[in-house]
Structure 1
Amino acid sequence: MTHIDFYLLPVGNPGSRLDFACRLTETIWRKGHRLYIHVPDPAMAQELDERLWSFKPDAFLPHGMLGNQPPSPVEIGWQEEPGDHHDVLLNLDLKIPGHFSRFQRVAEIIDDSEDVRKPKRADWTFYRERGYPIKAHDMRR
């Protein structure tokens, strides 16, 4: 069964959701997982791609857009079909992608903006009502 992790970010840091996504991506990759990052559109995919190259000057994080050849251990996409990924999904979309349950783990990031909080509360309820194991990681401490 898919395990769901919600990461609750501190208040008052604009752009923190994508910054945290970069750090979380590095952590997941260093633990040996393949990661698919689902974003809402090509614009966010491009922004995240650029941030992953520059968020940490001394680190290399092999990543690319879904469908590029050769495939990368970390891939970014907005399409309905996530390729051959089944390990970890980092969902940066405001809605749950239909393919979430094929993954072993799903990570959701919640910042303090109402635009993110409201749909992610609904996502929490969706997962809970369907019996998925949920864990909250309070990054505000």
Structure 2
Amino acid sequence: MADRQGWLIASMPRADFYLIAKPRFSERPLLLVCELARKAFVTQQPTLILTRDFEQAEELDELLWSFDEDAYIPHQLAGDDDDADTAVLIAPPGVDAPARPLIINLREQCPPSHGDRVLEVVAADPAAREGSRLRWREYQRLGFEVNKHDM
């Protein structure tokens, strides 16, 4: 079953791998993360973005303000008292964040806790794709429905 935006509503947990191929995203992979966050916000899905490090979290925070002057996506770095009220939380390693139904994972490992859906953004670099294959198999082992999308 699909929602109004075309995102599938699954009865089992789902992991979607977005493989970056287009030059627009290969040059700035965080643009794809912004697009996914916008789509989640429009469909009213509270989202947690797990970044690789604090620098990536700050870069994404800035980019969400500026990537599209017509889009406003309420977001913040995780760790404040109002985390539960913010549509999109950005969490670097070591920062606790409340569970969310949708997780965008930019880390090398699967999230320690899973929502209903995990989005994996995979860079065009062949070395990065090897780690994504390991995560793919881990999600399958955990009973997730796993899908791939070429971007």
The alpha carbon displacement at 1:43 in A equals 0.8
Q: Once superposed, what is the RMSD of the aligned Cα atoms?
A: 1.8
Which moves more between the two structures, 12-21 or 60-69? 12-21
Indicate the residue corresponding to 2:21 in structure 1: 10
Shift of 1:138: 2.4
Q: 111, 114, 123: which is aligned to 1:111?
A: 123
1:132 maps to a residue whose letter is F
Offset from partner CA, 1:44-92 (integer Å, 9 cap, x none): 1001101111100121110001122422110000245653223100001
Number of aligned positions between the proteins:
137
Show structure 1 runs of 5+ residues with no match. Answer: none
Corresponding residue number in structure 1 for 2:137: 125
- Over the matched positions of the two proteins, sequence identity in percent amounts to 29
- C-alpha distance in structure 2 between counterparts of 1:76 and 1:37, whole Å: 5
| 8 Å Cα contact 1:35-1:74 kept in structure 2 | yes
1:40 lines up with 2:24 in the alignment: no
Residue in 1 that maps onto 2:90: 76
| Structure 1 length-normalised TM | 0.87
What is the distance in 2 between the residues matched to 1:125 and 1:39?
21
TM-score (norm 2): 0.81
* Alpha-carbon distance change, 113 to 11 in structure 1, aligned in 2, over 3 angstroms: farther
State the match for 2:6 in structure 1.
none
Deviation at 1:109, TM superposition (A): 1.1
Higher mean displacement: 24-33 or 11-20: 11-20
Counterpart AA for 2:17:
F
The separation in 2 between residues aligned to 1:96 and 1:110, in whole angstroms, is 13
Q: Is the 8 A contact 2:17 2:120 kept in 1?
A: yes
